[in-house]
Chains A and B, each alone.
Chain A
Amino acid sequence: MDGSSSSLKSAALLEQMKLHLASDAGKDLTKKIGLVYQLNIAPKKIGMDEEIYVVDLKEGKVTKGPYKGKPDTTFSFTDNDFLSIATGKMNPQMAFIRGAMKIKGSISAAQKFTPDIFPKPSKL
Chain B
Amino acid sequence: MAARDLVTGGAACAVPGTASSSNPFGALANTILGSSSKAQELKGLPGTSVNVPGSSSDFGPEAPLTTIPGSEYEGQQHQQLDARNSEFLHGFRTADHGFEDAWDEIHRPPVLSHAQGREGQPHFAEFEQIYDHSGSSVLQPTWDGPPQRVLSSFLHSFVDSGRAGVPFRPAALPVLGLSEVDKQCIRDRSCIMARHIFADKSEEFISAQVNALLHSLDIDSDHRIRGPMNGPFRELEEYWNESQGAMKSGMPNSADRWVTEFNQPREIADPEAWAHSFEQLHGANGWASEFEQEQSQMASIGQLSGGNMSNVAAMEQSRMLAHTLAQNTNPKFQNSKFLQFVSKMSRGELIVDENQIKPATGSISADWADEYQAQYNVSPNSWADQFVRGELSQGTDKWADEFAKEHPQHKADDPWVNEFSKLHVQDWAEEFGQQVSEGLFGESSADNWADAYDKYLDEQLLGSKQQSSASRGVYVFSDMNPYVGHPNPLKEGQELFRKGLLSEAVLALEAEVLKNPDNAEGWRLLGITHAENDDDQQAIASMMRAQEVDPTNLEVLLALGVSHTNELEQPEALKYLYKWLQNHPKYGGLTPPEQADSLYYGDVARLFNEAAQMSPDDADVHIVLGVLYNLSREYDKAIKSFQTALKLKPRDYSLWNKLGATQANSIQSADAILAYQQALDLKPNYVRAWANMGISYANQGLYEESLRYYVRALSMNPKADNVWQYLRISLSCVSRNDMFEACDSRNLDVLQKEFPL
In the complex the two chains form, what is the Cα distance from A116 to B445 in whole Å? 16
Instruction: Tell me the smallest distance from the CB of B341 to a CB of chain A, in Å.
Output: 10
Q: Which residues of A contact B189 (CB under 8 A)?
A: none
Q: How many B residues, CB 8 Å from partner?
A: 85
Given contacts A4-B570, A93-B449, contact A119 B699 (CB under 8 A): yes
Q: Are B661 and A123 in contact, with the CB atoms below 8 A?
A: yes
Q: How many A residues, CB 8 Å from partner?
A: 56
In the complex the two chains form, what is the Cα distance from A123 to B314 in whole Å? 34
In the complex the two chains form, what is the Cα distance from A100 to B467 in whole Å? 15
Of all chain B residues, which has the CB nearest A8?
B568
Compute the total of residue contacts between A and B using a CB distance below 8 Å: 186
Q: Are A100 and B246 in contact, with the CB atoms below 8 A?
A: yes
Q: Which residues of A contact B268 (CB under 8 A)?
A: none
Of all chain B residues, which has the CB nearest A48?
B415
Asked whether any CB of chain B lies closer than 8 Å to the CB of A64, the reply is no
Asked whether any CB of chain B lies closer than 8 Å to the CB of A16, the reply is yes
Q: Are A81 and B246 in contact, with the CB atoms below 8 A?
A: yes
Q: Are A121 and B665 in contact, with the CB atoms below 8 A?
A: yes
Q: Which residues of A contact B627 (CB under 8 A)?
A: 124
Residue B431 contacts which of A24, A103, A123, A124 (CB distance < 8 angstroms)? A103
Q: Which residues of A contact B199 (CB under 8 A)?
A: 45
In the complex the two chains form, what is the Cα distance from A65 to B382 in whole Å? 29
Asked whether any CB of chain B lies closer than 8 Å to the CB of A33, the reply is no
Q: Which residues of B contact A63 (CB under 8 A)?
A: none
In the complex the two chains form, what is the Cα distance from A39 to B145 in whole Å? 48
Asked whether any CB of chain A lies closer than 8 Å to the CB of B427, the reply is yes
Q: Are A1 and B601 in contact, with the CB atoms below 8 A?
A: yes
Q: Are B699 and A120 in contact, with the CB atoms below 8 A?
A: yes
Q: Are B534 and A123 in contact, with the CB atoms below 8 A?
A: yes
Q: Are B662 and A124 in contact, with the CB atoms below 8 A?
A: yes
Q: Which residues of A contact B657 (CB under 8 A)?
A: 124
Given contacts A1-B632, A3-B633, A94-B456, contact A19 B666 (CB under 8 A): yes
Asked whether any CB of chain A lies closer than 8 Å to the CB of B152, the reply is no
Q: Which residues of B contact A28 (CB under 8 A)?
A: 701
Q: Are A99 and B252 in contact, with the CB atoms below 8 A?
A: yes
Instruction: Tell me the smallest distance from the CB of B440 to a CB of chain A, in Å.
Output: 10
Of all chain A residues, which has the CB nearest B623?
A124
Q: Are B427 and A89 in contact, with the CB atoms below 8 A?
A: no
Of all chain A residues, which has the CB nearest B445?
A111
Q: Which residues of B contact A13 (CB under 8 A)?
A: 568
In the complex the two chains form, what is the Cα distance from A102 to B431 in whole Å? 12
Instruction: Tell me the smallest distance from the CB of A42 to a CB of chain B, in Å.
Output: 9
Q: Are A25 and B633 in contact, with the CB atoms below 8 A?
A: no
Q: Are B434 and A106 in contact, with the CB atoms below 8 A?
A: yes
Instruction: Tell me the smallest distance from the CB of A71 to a CB of chain B, in Å.
Output: 12
* Chain B, range 224-266, C-beta contacts under 8 Å to A: 246-252
Of all chain A residues, which has the CB nearest B660?
A122
In the complex the two chains form, what is the Cα distance from A73 to B662 in whole Å? 32
In the complex the two chains form, what is the Cα distance from A46 to B415 in whole Å? 9
Q: Which residues of A contact B66 (CB under 8 A)?
A: none
In the complex the two chains form, what is the Cα distance from A67 to B27 in whole Å? 31
Q: Are B445 and A122 in contact, with the CB atoms below 8 A?
A: no
What sequence of 0s and 1s flags, for each residue 1-22 of chain A, a beta carbon within 8 Å of any chain B beta carbon? 1111001010011011001101
Q: Are B569 and A97 in contact, with the CB atoms below 8 A?
A: no
Q: Which residues of B contact A97 (CB under 8 A)?
A: 314, 318, 321, 452-453, 456
Instruction: Tell me the smallest distance from the CB of A122 to a CB of chain B, in Å.
Output: 4
Q: Which residues of B contact A121 (CB under 8 A)?
A: 566, 568, 665, 695
Residue B246 contacts which of A9, A80, A103, A123 (CB distance < 8 angstroms)? A80
Given contacts A88-B728, A106-B434, A108-B434, contact A120 B698 (CB under 8 A): yes
* Centre residue among B251, B435, B701 by max chain A CB count within 10 A: B701
Q: Are B456 and A87 in contact, with the CB atoms below 8 A?
A: no
Instruction: Tell me the smallest distance from the CB of B476 to a CB of chain A, in Å.
Output: 17
Of all chain B residues, which has the CB nearest A115?
B729
- Which 5 A/B pairs are nearest by Cβ-Cβ distance? A99-B314, A93-B452, A88-B725, A25-B701, A9-B568
Listed in ascending order, the chain A residues whose CB lies under 8 Å from chain B are 1-4, 7, 9, 12-13, 15-16, 19-20, 22-25, 28, 44-48, 77-81, 83, 87-89, 91, 93-94, 96-100, 102-108, 111, 114-116, 119-124
Listed in ascending order, the chain B residues whose CB lies under 8 Å from chain A are 199-200, 246-252, 310-311, 313-315, 317-318, 321, 324, 415, 418-419, 422-423, 426-427, 430-431, 434-435, 438, 441, 445, 448-449, 452-453, 455-456, 534, 536, 562, 565-571, 601-602, 627, 630-634, 657-658, 660-662, 664-667, 669, 672, 688, 691-692, 695-696, 698-701, 721-722, 725-726, 728-730, 732-733
